[in-house]
């Protein structure tokens, strides 16, 4: 039984009603004298999970923010106010990492449009759509380490891609060694590896689209671009919004493996992202408090970018 099909929105309201019924149930039993062990059952069942999440996820978040205002090394543990942040924003490597975030935001529409277009074609049943669906999705299950390793071979200076370019008469490109190109190369590989995820999300969004609207548009003689603009985009606005936000979060938080394997931040620090910077300061430079400051900034960047996107998309959604 597919999990996706079992989660219609209507299930949620049904669940809320049930929860009201359940509210009275435990109290009734407690009056009838069952043991407190039984009465506390829901709490007992939740407790281990809550403990793990609080201790290893939410508490570290507070700890980290607090930690970012202390010093490293000689000043270990001492309160240093905003010193770490001042140093952070004076570091060209970190500023470069933030500049790369701006590039990611600019490239984001491409990373969303590709799976969006492909999902549209698959939904409209181009020949072989079932095959495409499973082929496109498969890189999404590969580890960034595997993907990065494979592309290290493919993008080598004397590798297959440059060989292909040679065949069409173009000069070789130093994909990972040229500081103007490397960041785009890594983002390109990231998109290659993750567009299947977004594609599947788009397809599940299409499942909620009313086919009658498409038929109506077609019988009115709408062209494919018109159908996309006037039927599909408005109909899928929630899905598009979701894909925008998750793709952005993915770019900010799951490119570590690729950066680690493919460029190690190089050449000349041109492929740093905040998350990689945090790792270097923590793992290589042994400056945990400074790293905590960098990760706090990363969190704020994500929050700002995420909220800005939701706000922006909501506004454009209203215009339609």
Partner 1 sequence: MRGARISRWLIAVPMALLALATIYPLVFTANAAMKTRRDYILDRFSLADSLRWDNIVTAWTSAGTARYFVNSVIVVAGAVALLLLLGSMAGFALSHFRFRGSKALLLGCLAALFVPFQVIMVPLVRTMADTGLVDTYPGLILAYVAQFLPFTIYLMASYYSTIPSEIVDAARIDGNSTYGVYRRIMLPMGRPALLSVGVLNALFCWNDVLIALLMMPSAEHRTLMVGVTSLRGQYSADIPTFASGVLIAAVPVLTIYLFFQRRIADAVTAGSTKG
Question: Is residue 203 within the footprint of partner 1 (CB under 8 A)?
Answer: yes
Q: Which residue has the tokens 């106010």?
A: 81
198 exposure class (CB count in 10 Å sphere: 0-12, 13-18, 19+): buried
Number of residues forming the site for partner 1 (CB under 8 A): 102
- Compute the distance between CA of residue 90 and CA of residue 85 in angstroms, rounded to an integer: 9
79 DSSP β-pair partners: 70
Which residues 6+ apart lie within 8 Å of 122 measured at CB?
Answer: 129, 132, 133, 199, 203
Q: Which is nearer to partner 1, 105 or 154 (CB)?
A: 154
Instruction: Determine contact, residues 182/270, Cβ cutoff 8 Å.
Output: yes
* Closest separation in Å from C-beta 130 to partner 1: 11
According to CB under 8 A, which one of 6, 32, 36, 219 is a site residue for partner 1?
Answer: 6
Q: Which residue has the tokens 């690729």?
A: 258
Give, as ranges, the residues between 15 and 34 that touch partner 1 (CB under 8 A). Answer: 15, 18-23, 25-26
Instruction: Determine contact, residues 201/208, Cβ cutoff 8 Å.
Output: no
According to CB under 8 A, which one of 175, 279, 280, 305 is a site residue for partner 1?
Answer: 279
Give, as ranges, the residues between 44 and 83 that touch partner 1 (CB under 8 A). Answer: 44-46, 48-50, 52-53, 55-61, 63-64, 67
Question: Is residue 177 within the footprint of partner 1 (CB under 8 A)?
Answer: no
Question: Is residue 43 within the footprint of partner 1 (CB under 8 A)?
Answer: yes
- Residue 284 per-residue DSSP state: I
* Closest separation in Å from C-beta 189 to partner 1: 9
Question: Is residue 115 within the footprint of partner 1 (CB under 8 A)?
Answer: no
Question: Is residue 184 within the footprint of partner 1 (CB under 8 A)?
Answer: no
* Closest separation in Å from C-beta 70 to partner 1: 11
């Amino acid at each position: 039984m597919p999990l996706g099909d079992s989660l219609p929105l209507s299930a949620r309201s049904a669940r809320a009603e049930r929860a009201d019924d359940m509210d009275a149930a435990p109290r009734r039993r407690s009056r009838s004298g069952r043991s407190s062990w039984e009465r506390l059952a829901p709490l007992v069942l939740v407790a281990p999970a809550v403990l793990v999440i609080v201790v290893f996820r939410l508490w570290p978040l507070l700890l980290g923010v607090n930690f970012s205002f202390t010093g490293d090394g000689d000043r270990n543990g001492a309160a240093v106010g905003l010193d770490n942040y001042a140093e952070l924003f004076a570091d060209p490597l970190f500023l470069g990492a933030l500049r790369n975030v701006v590039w990611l935001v600019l490239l984001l529409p491409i990373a969303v449009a590709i799976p969006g277009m492909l999902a549209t074609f698959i939904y409209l049943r181009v020949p072989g759509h079932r095959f495409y669906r499973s082929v496109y999705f498969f890189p999404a299950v590969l580890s960034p380490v595997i993907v990065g390793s494979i592309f290290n071979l493919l993008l080598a200076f004397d590798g297959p891609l440059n060989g292909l370019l040679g065949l069409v008469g173009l000069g070789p490109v130093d994909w990972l060694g040229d500081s103007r190109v490397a960041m785009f190369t890594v983002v390109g590989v990231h998109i290659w590896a993750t567009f299947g995820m977004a594609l599947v999300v788009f397809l599940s969004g299409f499942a909620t689209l009313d086919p009658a609207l498409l038929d109506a548009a077609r019988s009115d003689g709408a062209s494919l671009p018109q159908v996309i603009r006037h039927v599909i985009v408005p109909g899928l606005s929630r899905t598009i919004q979701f894909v925008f936000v998750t793709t952005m979060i993915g770019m900010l938080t799951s490119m570590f493996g690729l950066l680690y394997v493919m460029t190690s931040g190089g050449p000349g620090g041109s492929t740093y992202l905040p998350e990689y910077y945090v790792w270097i300061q923590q793992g290589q430079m042994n400056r945990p408090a400074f790293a905590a400051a960098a990760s706090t900034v990363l969190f704020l960047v994500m929050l700002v970018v995420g909220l800005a996107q939701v706000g922006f998309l909501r506004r454009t959604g209203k215009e339609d």
